[in-house]
């Protein structure tokens, strides 16, 4: 069973890959090209052009780090948690590393790795690895120098945290890439406290829109209060110990030098750290959501914990075949499957539509990846949300929505005994999606996969009530 499911998943992926290679396949009138190339278990790209098209996930929460083809980063808490960009200065010239002449980008499932070369570095090279932390909601950058000439400095810039959620939570194609840029307007309410190489950032004084306000239909043209205030959020950042830290003007980002030369703009501030680079050295930068800063000397431990956590997930499926396009897929599939789990259930999506629904595609991935405990927790938590004491009534169409769906009211034919509600753990309320059939299919798939007769007996009342419904 396990081999069959994995075979069909991989066959589908490989069929699409080879179809793209077979000739001129058009997509919206444009010839499609291969973006990343396989290299062992990695996905490799040279001279990419896009930002924020690769999410990195840490623990099983809605937090993520945004990375991409180019080495500029952001944190989504969820809600914009800030942007991190890096510059280099040498011989009175400067540029952002996203403008470097040669950038090799590697997606190693769960992490992004960059090899950066440029005339400002001479024969030197910067190697940057960015990870989401394993135990805290934060990111860590590891920056290594190779053949670095004297007189080169690195500038790390952080800012632009608003706490505001984007329309589709930063989904590619729905929210523009610029949503994650270090926009001066994002810096408006940012407040910094600096302690040597560390800083505390307070942000997000305006209440973010709720899941329902962003995703659900607002009846009676109800408009959310976009000016509502709330307690500010906190971030802690840690630069290398020898960094020169200062506040600069977010409106002066044309180059690292111009930014550093700017006067502190308390209306639109960003924080900068200038680090003189030495050859064959390792530097770290950390930003995380917590009350107390992690000591810089603990950065290597934080980094290795993140690496270990990623390997534990990506290593669940290791593929070694004659086809290089198949081999990287195992780790990528495992990372993606882990990203949609948030106890006690699978989410609709990892980025857009990250909400609880009883039966989208997520639960199907649990058993092939050995997460039988997650499967049982998902099914058991939603068993508590099956309606058991509300008799069925008539069919009632929602005329406000042109009878496109049932009226969301308990006691109708749909929202009655046997109906499984959208949220787990006994949250009994109607929702326009009917996911009961798929939920039961996923449950039967779990039975067939595990052969767990005791669990079949436990869930038998749910199945009987579902059939009656």
pLDDT digits (tens, 9 = 90+) for 298-324: 999 999 999 999 999 999 999 999 999
Cβ count near 152 (within 10 Å): 21
Crossing angle (nearest 10°) for helices 453-468 and 436-450: 160
**Residue 209: its pLDDT value, please?**
65
Query: pLDDT tens digits, residue range 438-460?
Result: 999 999 999 999 999 999 999 99
**Residue 11: its pLDDT value, please?**
46
Q: In which band, very low, low, confident or very high, does the pLDDT at 22 lie, cut at 50, 70 and 90?
A: very low
How would you write 44-100 as a 3-class SS string?
EEECCCCCCCEEEECCCCCCEEEECCCCCEEEECCCEEEEEEEEEEECCEEEEHHHC
pLDDT higher for 249 or 208? Answer: 249
Do the strands 64-67 and 54-57 form a parallel or antiparallel pair, or are they unpaired?
antiparallel
Which residue stretches of 205-255 are H helix? Answer: 211-215
Is 103:86 a contact under the CB 8 Å cutoff? no
Predicted confidence (pLDDT) at residue 18 exceeds the cutoff of 60: no
Predicted confidence (pLDDT) at residue 7 exceeds the cutoff of 50: no
**Residue 211: its pLDDT value, please?**
65
Q: Which residues pair with 318 in a beta bridge?
A: none
**Residue 433: its pLDDT value, please?**
85
Spatial separation of the C-alpha atoms in residues 249 and 325, rounded to whole Å: 46
Spatial separation of the C-alpha atoms in residues 181 and 177, rounded to whole Å: 7
Query: pLDDT tens digits, residue range 248-289?
Result: 999 999 999 999 999 998 899 999 999 999 999 999 999 999
Of the candidates 85, 126, 83, the residue with the CA atom closest to the CA atom of residue 102 = 126
Spatial separation of the C-alpha atoms in residues 192 and 255, rounded to whole Å: 22
**Residue 26: its pLDDT value, please?**
78
Spatial separation of the C-alpha atoms in residues 207 and 225, rounded to whole Å: 9
Is 317:369 a contact under the CB 8 Å cutoff? yes
What is the longest distance spanned by two Cα atoms in the chain? 80
Give, for 129, the enclosing helix (H) or strand (E).
strand 125-132
Q: Percentage of the chain surpassing pLDDT 90?
A: 80
> What's the mean pLDDT when you consider all of the chain?
91
pTM beyond 0.85: yes
Range scoring the smallest mean pLDDT among 56-60, 104-108, 156-160, 377-381: 56-60
Predicted confidence (pLDDT) at residue 3 exceeds the cutoff of 90: no
């Amino acid at each position: 069973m396990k081999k069959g499911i994995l075979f069909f998943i991989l066959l589908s992926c490989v069929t699409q890959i080879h179809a793209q290679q077979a000739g001129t396949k058009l997509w919206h009138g444009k010839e499609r090209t291969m973006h990343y190339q396989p290299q062992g278990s990695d996905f490799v790209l040279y001279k990419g052009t896009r930002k924020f098209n690769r999410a990195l996930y840490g623990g099983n929460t809605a937090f993520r780090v945004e990375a991409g083809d180019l080495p500029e980063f952001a944190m989504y808490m969820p809600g914009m948690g800030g942007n991190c960009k890096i510059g280099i200065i040498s011989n009175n010239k400067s540029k952002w590393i996203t403008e470097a002449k040669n950038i090799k980008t590697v997606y190693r499932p769960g992490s992004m790795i960059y090899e950066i070369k440029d005339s400002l570095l001479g024969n030197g090279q910067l190697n940057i690895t960015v990870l989401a932390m394993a135990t805290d909601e934060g990111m860590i950058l590891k920056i290594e120098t190779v053949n670095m000439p004297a007189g080169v400095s690195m500038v790390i810039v952080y800012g632009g945290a608003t706490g505001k959620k984007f329309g589709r939570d930063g989904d590619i194609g729905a929210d523009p890439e610029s949503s994650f840029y270090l926009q001066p307007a994002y810096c408006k309410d940012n407040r910094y406290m600096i302690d040597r190489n560390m800083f505390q950032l307070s942000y997000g004084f305006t209440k973010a829109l709720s899941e329902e306000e962003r995703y659900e239909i607002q009846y009676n043209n109800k408009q959310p209060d976009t000016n509502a205030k709330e307690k500010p959020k906190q971030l802690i950042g840690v630069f290398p110990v020898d960094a020169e830290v200062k506040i600069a003007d977010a409106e002066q980002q044309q180059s690292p030098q111009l930014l550093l030369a700017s006067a502190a703009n308390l209306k639109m501030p960003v924080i900068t750290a200038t680090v003189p680079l030495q050859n064959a050295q390792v530097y770290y930068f950390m930003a995380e959501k917590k009350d107390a800063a992690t000591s810089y000397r603990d950065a290597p431990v934080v980094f290795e914990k993140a690496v270990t956590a990623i390997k534990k997930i990506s290593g669940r499926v290791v593929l070694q075949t004659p086809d290089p396009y198949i081999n990287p897929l195992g780790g990528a599939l495992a990372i993606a499957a882990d990203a949609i789990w948030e106890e006690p259930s699978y989410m609709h999506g990892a980025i857009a539509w990250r909400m609880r629904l009883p039966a989208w595609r997520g639960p199907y991935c649990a058993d092939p990846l050995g997460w039988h405990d997650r499967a049982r927790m998902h099914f058991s938590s939603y068993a508590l949300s099956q309606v058991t004491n509300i008799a069925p009534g008539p069919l009632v169409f929602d005329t406000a929505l042109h009878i496109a769906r049932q009226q969301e009211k308990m006691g109708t034919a749909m929202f009655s005994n046997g109906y499984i509600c959208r949220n787990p753990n006994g949250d009994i309320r109607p929702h326009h999606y009917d996911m009961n059939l798929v939920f039961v299919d996923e449950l039967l798939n779990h039975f067939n996969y595990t052969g767990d007769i005791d669990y079949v007996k436990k869930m038998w009342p749910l199945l009987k009530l579902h059939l009656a419904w």
